[in-house]
Structures are given as C-alpha cells and as structure tokens.
Amino acid sequence: MFCIGVWKKSFKRVFSLTLTGIICLLCVSMPVSAESEGNNNIVVGVPKDRCPIFYCDEETDEIVGIGVDLMREAADEAGYNVTFETVKEESLKDALDNEEYDVIMPLGSAFSSTSGKASVVSDNLFQTPFTLVTLENYELKELNELHVGMLSSLAGGAETVRQLYPDIEITFFETMNEAVKSLRSRNVDALLHNSYVWSYILQKPSYTNLVIHPTAMFSMDFRAGTLDTPEGREIIERLNDGIEAISDTERQAIILDYTSRQLYQFNLSDYLFRYGPLMIICVLLVILISFRFTLNSRTRHFEHVVKMRKLMDYDPLTEILNINGFRKRVEELLRENPDKSYVLSYNNIKNFKYINDSYGMDAGDELLRFWAECAGKNLTELDAVARIEADHFAMLRYVDDVAKLQDDTQRVIDEVSDYFGDRDNKIRVQLSAGIYVLTGDDHRNINVDRMLDCARLAEKRLQESHKEGCEFYNPEQWKTGKMIADVSGHLFEAIENGEIQVWYQPQVDYENNKVDGAEALCRWNHSKLGWISPGNFIPALEEVGLIYDLDCFVWETVCKDLHKWKEQGRIQSVSVNLSRADIMHDADIPELFRDLINKYELNPSQIHVEITETAYVDNPNLLLSMTQKFREYGFSVEMDDFGSGYSSLNMLKEVQVDRIKLDLHFLTETGDQNKGRIIIRYMVQMAQDLGMSLIAEGVENKEQAEHLQSCGCHEMQGYYFYKPMPSQDFENILTM
Ligand code: C2E
Ligand code: MG
Ligand code: MG
C-alpha cells in the first residue's frame, strides 16, 4: 500500500514538474508581461552545500534536494512558480537583506537580518531532526554542558539551539573537515548538524570512526523567510497556502526519496583513503609481475646466449671447446691465475689419415671422441682442452705437481695408443705433442695464438724427426717452470725448517794471503730435491716474485752473523747480493739496510751491496737513485759480474760504485786465453784510472791469481782459495 502511495506521489510530482516545464516553455515562447511573471514566480535563495536538503545536481547543474522538492510541491498546490538561486552571502542573515531573493531558506525561526530588520517566516515545511556526532566510544554528557561545533552557515540554527540549551557552548567552523579535525583533537565534544545532512556526510570513508547519537536529537523547523514588509508578508501568505496543502504522505515520500539515494560522490582522497592499501598491493603486484616477467625474459635471453656460446665455442663432435672457445678460456684462466705455472701442448695423431682410410670415417670420429674423453679425465677447473681442427688438440695445463702432470700425459698417450688394441694388434695410434712452457710474459701479454704457434712448432720438429712423444719448445723454461712448481709455495716452510742456509765464500788479499771479506751465497737443501743450486732456484723465485722474501732472510742472517762475530771481536765485512727483482719490488731497501745495521749494532761499511747490470738495464734511474742512497748511508756498492753482459760499461759510466767485481769466468772460459789476459790487464788499469777498487771472482788457479797480481789486482775470490762454506766453517777460518 505504502509503495503504491509513494509511486503515485512520485508520478504526480514528475507530472507536475513536466507541467511546470511546459508552462515555462510556453512562457518563454509567448510574450508575457514582466508584472505577471513577477507575480507568479517566487525567487528562493538557498545554500547548495546541504545535501540532501539543498545541493547541486552534477548532471543538470541545477539546485535540487528535499527543500527544493517540498517548495515545488507547495508552489504546485498553490499555483505559483518557484525558482532557486544560490545564496552568495556568508550567512542567511546577510541574505535576508538581499532584494534579489523573494524568500530565503532554510530558517528555523524568524530572526533579524544583518542590517537589523525584522523577518517573517512561513509555516513549517517539515521537521528537520538535528543530531550530535561524536568520536567512537565517546560518552556523551548532558546537552547543556556540551561544547559543540557547528558550521558557520548554520548561524541561524545556532540561535535556536541556544534558545533551547542556554548553557551550551558553540564553536563555528567554515568547513566540515575543520570541524571533524577539531572533534578528533578533542577541542569540541560533538558536532551538531541536520541528521539528513549527517546521513550524507558520514558516507565519506575517512569519517567512519564518527558515530551519530540519535538519542541526543532535537528538531528544528524548516521554513522560508523574508523581511517583514507588506510584500514580504504577502509572499509568505502565498507560500503558506501551498505548504498547508502538502500532505504528510507527500512530504514523507520526498524525504524518503532523497535519503534512500546513494548521493555521496567519492572524490580522489576518498578513493585513496578507502582503497589505498588495496591500491598499494595492486601496484606491488604489478611491479612483482613485471619484475618476474623481466627476470624470465632475461633468463631466456641468458639461456639463449649460453646456447649460442655453446654453438660458437664448442666442437660438436667431441663436445669439448673449439679453437674459439679455447682462446677465450685460456685468456680467462691466465688472467684469473697470474701466479700459476702453465704449459700449453699441441697434440696431433700422426697416423690419423691412415686410420680413416683403413677403418672408415666413423672409426676416426670415435677415436677423436675417445681422445677428448681420455684427456678430459685428468683436467681440473684450472685446465682447458680443445679440438683445434681435424685431429689436432690443444691443452692448457696448470703445473702444480710435475710428476703428476707427466703421469697424466703418459696415461693419455698409453690409452689412446692402444685404442685399436682389441680390433687390430698391428695398428697403434701414434701421438706427438709439442709443449710450450708459459713465461711470466705470457701472463702479462696474453696471446693464445702465439703460444699455440710455439707448441705447434715443437710438435712439427718432432714430426720431422719421425719421433713420437713430446718435445719442448723452450726446455730451459720448462726447467724453470718445474723448479717454480717445486720451490714456490714451499719457500717460507723451507726458511722455517732450516732448509735454506746462508753460506760464505771468503775473499782474500793475495798480497798477504789474508781473508778480508766474504760473499754471502744462499744454499737450499730441498726436502724433496736435495741440494739445489741458486742458479736454479733464484730465477724461479724471481719469476714468481718471491726473491725479495728470500733476500730479506739472507740479509738479516748476514747481519746476525756479523753481530755474532763482532761480539767475538772479529769485525768482518760481507758482500750481499741484490736481485733485479728486489730493486723493482721495494725502492726503500737502503732504509731497510739502515734499520738492520742499527738493530744489530753494525757499521754500514761492514755491508757491501752487490748489484748486477741486469738491474741497470731494467730501470737505470731507479738503480741510480738507490745506489746513491746506499752510498750516502755509508754502505759500499759493488758492481757484480762485470764483463759478463753487454751493458757493463754503460752502467759503469752512469752509476757510481765503490768496487768492481770482475767476473773471470766469463773472460777466460772460452776464446783466446792470451786475449783474455790482455782484457783483464786493461780492465784493472781502467778501474784504477776511474778511482775504483777491484776484486776478481771465479779465480780457479794459481796462474790466474798470479796474472791478476801482476796486473795490480790483489783482491780475489774463487775456488782456488775457498769454495762457499757454511757459516761455522767460515768462522773457523777467521779464527785461524
Ligand atoms: P754471484 O753473485 O756472481 O756469485 C758467485 C757465484 O760464483 C757463486 O755461485 C759462487 O759459488 C760461484 N763461484 C765462486 N767461485 C767460483 C769459481 O772459482 N769457479 C766457478 N765456476 N764458480 C765460482 P752460486 O753460489 O751458485 O750463486 C750463483 C748466483 O746466484 C750468484 O752469482 C748470485 O747472483 C746468485 N745468488 C746466490 N745467492 C744469492 C742470494 O742470497 N740472493 C740473490 N739475490 N742472489 C744470490
Ligand atoms: Mg755476487
Ligand atoms: Mg758474481
């Protein structure tokens, strides 16, 4: 019943609005006098921020709401028109004074305008319930004791409230947001507003913790009003005719129509407030998905690259590296392991053509695969193997344990040679390998093709000599390499265990046959190799950069011995050797020497520093400044192995030394003995002319000693007098 009633009323309203529209249209299309239009139309000034009572319809841009519909209903009943204007004034009190509006709404009761004029109000259109809104869990006090917040546009309503509750305290706010903020910071106890407006406003998501208190409700009238003038009263009377004619059912239908609508429109901040966390999750999800997608495509790309690399770098038949891959891998390994010793071999199956012809290509392929498999068995991640072309293979092997490397190589040779053993005892696979031993230079300037060329050359030499097995491209390097493998990594342990000792070779004054010095020479009694000569292990230590550590040990041992002998009352001087690598390693060696003599309470003149011309060739300026410093500090500098190289004279010209060590060995070993003697004579003469003293080393017989003596060189060192000996033996000589 109720529904039908409401529907009927709505239909009636729509019908009357349409009728009003038609009438308006007719009015526009027909010439109507201003007077008749003025008499029939009442201009109502209203605020438009009181949804759902007065607000602006976003689609039509017209003012709509409960108040509008009620007024239209009244006008319809009494036969006049109403049009609505938004009040521009701050309050309805101001608006009362504006003659543009015939009446203004909504007024609870009559009050004076801002200019002090009295007003007159219409009958009540409907009761508007006013309710309090507080924060959740707020315990409401008596209404009279409350401090409430109201919008300043409700100043008229506030007067009615004050009449009802004289002790109530009211604070006005310009906007609802300000009012809510004040409530949240507990500056006011509650907010007071029309409950229809509340039902709209509280739909805002950020106001969800505000609650309406329906018990604390009071009603206010909803009237139209104007200035109390004869015309004003006449308009009010006309309005009252219409208001009187509105039935309660119609009134309820209008109110229900607006309060049951979902009027609240979400703005951006509302969306953010309500859906913010969800939006963040969505954004994170999108980021995650796109990250996953990128990762997937990267993985696919990487897999593709790996696949391509496999195609480019691997041999499809044997599945080991091809030349391309070998080059890259070798470069990688050498760069990552600059201190490790390596050999590179170039391997060939000598009778491969014969095998192919006799057993067919498939058997040939099988053999190549077998070779790759056998070679691969012994490899570690520090090695590499590749099929370069046809039956040629290359290997890079880390030389850690020389014996093991040899065993591995032999095993591959044996296994592959016997490949056809089951089928045909007569045929043996003939293998040849050229081996190139990598030098320090190969680590510094990596050129894989050059190394392969060297190994290939050695392999060719072997083929030409119709031999099998392997041939070294650089056998001396192999010896050093082998030595490096045996000494590097074992040095410190050897020093600790006393495997390394400092021996002394006495130096004599031939005129009086007295020992007046010695050269310190080190000796290594290797735990695996037995006694090894410095001529072997010193270049190996130089190669791996460990010579400085050995020399520091030698220098300190010499100083200790000198200190000991000094304590025994024998002031001695000793010559110590400085490697070219020492000079490059540490430019502060003179300071180190000074610290040592201070520590062991020696005189700098007790230490003679032997420097070779190779150091001069490496870095003349560095050598020059270092010798200068040694001499400034009082050490004596000697030029070792004079005459053995090509730059001896050059160095002599540039570097100031105190003594020349003439290497007799190089001057007398080969060639015309007589010429050698003449050279010695002139060298002695030259040293005298240059104001330097001279000692001859490598004196092996009386004849040499006599000749030197006759030339004016009395200082001598050599097997003719003494061989290098342990310090204890040298000590015994000193006491003689
Ligand atoms: P060097 O400094 O020229 O030392 C002289 C070498 O000649 C020594 O060889 C010595 O034993 C040898 N010698 C001495 N008299 C004769 C002789 O009458 N005939 C022959 N054939 N040889 C003789 P050694 O001890 O084998 O040392 C070889 C080289 O190793 C040394 O040559 C030196 O350059 C180097 N060396 C030795 N000990 C050390 C050391 O502690 N540190 C450094 N950096 N180098 C060292
Ligand atoms: Mg020497
Ligand atoms: Mg020498």
pLDDT at residue 5 greater than cutoff 60? no
- The span from the CA of 151 to the CA of 176, in Å, is 7
Element (H, E) at 351: none
Residue 23 has pLDDT above 60, yes or no: no
CA of 482 to the centre of ligand 2 (A): 25
For residues 58 and 656, the model is more confident at 656
In angstroms, the CA 325 to CA 344 distance is 15
Q: Give per-residue pLDDT as tens, 91-125.
A: 888 899 999 999 999 988 888 899 999 999 999 99
The answer to whether 128 and 246 are in contact (CB under 8 A) is: no
Residue 613 has a CB neighbour count (10 Å cut-off) of 24
44 φ/ψ angles, rounded to the nearest 5 degrees: -110, 120
215 or 321: whose pLDDT is higher?
A: 321
44, with CB counted inside 10 A (0-12, 13-18, 19+), is buried
pLDDT at residue 168 is higher than 50: yes
Stronger pLDDT, 230 or 165, i.e. the higher one: 230
What is the chain's mean pLDDT, rounded?
86
DSSP letter string over 79-90?
Answer: T-EEEEEE--SS
The pLDDT of residue 726 is: 97
Q: What band does 354 get if pLDDT is binned at 50, 70 and 90? A: confident
- Chain center to CA of 95: 69
The label of the residue with tokens 């006759």 reads 710
- Cβ of 195 closer than 6 Å to ligand 1, yes or no, is no
pLDDT tens-digit series, residues 686-727: 999 999 999 999 999 999 999 999 999 999 999 999 999 999
Average pLDDT over residues 371-379: 91
What percent of the chain has pLDDT above 90? 49
d(CA 704, CA 706): 5
Q: Which residues surround ligand 2, an ion (CB under 5 A)?
A: 577, 610, 640
Secondary structure of residue 430 in the 3-state scheme: coil
Task: Please give the residue that has the higher pLDDT: either 7 or 132.
Answer: 132
Nearest CA owner, ligand 1 atom 2: 577
- Site to probe by mutation for ligand 1, drawn from 501, 521, 639 as the one with most ligand atoms within 8 Å of Cβ, is 521
**pLDDT at 209 (0 to 100):** 83
Distance from Cα 656 to the centre of ligand 2, integer Å? 18
Whether ligand 1 lies within 6 angstroms of the CB of 535 is answered as yes
Distance 548 CA to ligand 1 centre (A): 17
Quote the pLDDT of residue 32: 35
What would the two tokens of residue 15 be? 């019908």
pTM: 0.51
**Of the candidates 258, 277, 275, which has an alpha carbon nearest to the alpha carbon of residue 266?**
275
Strand duo 636-642 + 607-611: pairing: parallel
Distance 641 CA to ligand 3 centre (A): 4
Report d(CA 326, CA 334) in Å as an integer: 12
Higher pLDDT, 205 or 662: 662
Q: Which residue's CA lies nearest to atom 23 of ligand 1? A: 698
Output the CA–CA distances (angstroms, integers) from residue 253 to 7, 149, 331, in the order listed.
9, 31, 91
Q: Please, what's the b/e burial string for 421-437 (b: 16 or more CB within 10 A of its CB; e: otherwise)?
A: eeeeeebebbbbbbbbb
Q: Residue 534 CA: which ligand is closest?
A: 1
Q: Is 525 helix (H, G, I), strand (E, B) or coil?
A: strand
Bridge partners of residue 576, in order along the sequence: 609
pLDDT above 90 (res 331): yes
Asked if residue 187 has its Cβ within 6 Å of ligand 1, the reply is no
User: Model confidence at 231, in pLDDT bands (50, 70, 90)?
Assistant: very high
pLDDT of residue 453: 92
Give the residue numbers annotated as catalytic, written as ranges: 697
pLDDT band at 216 (very low <50, low <70, confident <90, very high): low
Contact 579, 551 (CB under 8 A): yes
The whole-number average pLDDT for the span 600-618 is 94
pLDDT digits (tens, 9 = 90+) for 28-85: 333 333 333 446 899 999 998 888 888 888 888 899 999 999 999 999 988 899 999 9
> Is the CB of residue 415 below 6 angstroms from any atom belonging to ligand 1?
no
> Do 226 and 199 meet the contact criterion of CB atoms below 8 Å apart?
no
Average pLDDT over residues 298-312: 79
User: Among the atoms of ligand 1, which is closest to the Cα of residue 699?
Assistant: 18
Nearest ligand 1 atom to alpha carbon 582: 44
Question: What number is the average pLDDT over the span 285-313?
Answer: 84
Decide whether any atom of ligand 1 lies within 6 Å of the 534 Cβ.
yes
Q: Is 369 in the pocket of ligand 1 (CB under 6 A)?
A: no
Question: What phi and psi values does residue 55 have, to the nearest 5 degrees?
Answer: -155, 170
pLDDT at position 127, please? 83
The amino acid occupying position 449 is D
Pair of tokens at residue 170:
């009211």
Is residue 425 very low, low, confident or very high in pLDDT (cuts 50, 70, 90)?
Answer: low
- Token pair of 133, please? 């809104």
- Kindly give, in sequence order, each residue whose CB lies less than 8 Å from that of residue 124, ignoring residues fewer than 6 positions away: 221, 222, 223, 243
Ligand minimally distant from the alpha carbon of residue 532: 1
Ligand 1 atom 44: the closest Cα is on which residue?
579
- Please work out, in degrees rounded to the nearest 5, the angle formed at the alpha carbon of residue 421 by the alpha carbons of 417 and 425: 105
User: 138-142, 370-374, 527-531 — which is least confidently predicted?
Assistant: 138-142
Ligand 1 pocket test: pick from 500, 577, 701 the residue with the most ligand atoms within 8 Å of its Cβ.
577
Q: Is 6 or 49 the better-scoring residue by pLDDT?
A: 49
Encode burial over 474-510: b for 16+ CB neighbours within 10 A, e otherwise: beebbebbbbbbbbbebbeebbeeebbebbbbbbbeb
Of 681, 697, 677, the C-alpha closest to 689 is 681
Confidence of residue 418 (pLDDT cuts 50, 70, 90): confident
264 pLDDT tier (thresholds 50, 70, 90): low
pLDDT at 162 over 90: no
Q: Higher-confidence residue: 215 or 529?
A: 529
- CB of 640 shorter than 6 A to ligand 1: yes
434 vs 637: CA distance, rounded Å: 45
Give the residues across from 642 on adjacent strands: 662
What pLDDT, on a 0 to 100 scale, did the predictor assign at position 215?
63
pLDDT of 273 reads 78
Which ligand has the shortest distance to the CA of 641? 3
Question: Would the pLDDT of 11 be above 50?
Answer: no
